[in-house]
Amino acid sequence: MPLLKLTTTVKVTPEQRLALLPALSQTLAKTLGKPEGYVMVTLNSADILFAGQAEPAAFADVRSIGGLNRETNSRLACEVSQILHQVLGLPPARIFLNFTHVESANWGWNGDTLG
């Protein structure tokens, strides 16, 4: 059940949304080796002050049951940053990412937990 919660200051157009969400979902599934049918991507807008500046920025919170490690996290950081730069024009230096392994007993779906 990989999840990528994206929060950004950028006002995302409908066209950008149609490009961004599938690209992030496919990247997360491919990189983590999980079926895309279990991947969720959310997109939220927020005010963000980063490095003392209110310039365009984003925070990506990636959570998964398994699959996260130093190599995978590094690859995801690179690929997610590239997508955000290509689609939203965000410089990679204005993107923070967080990676969290979630125990299967702590993730619920379909009326039960996964562990």
Q: Active-site residue numbers? A: 2
Q: Which residues contact 42 (CB under 8 A, 6 or more apart)?
A: 3, 4, 5, 6
Give me the amino acid identity at 96.
Answer: F
Using alpha carbons, select from 69, 58, 15, 60 the residue that is nearest to residue 41. 60
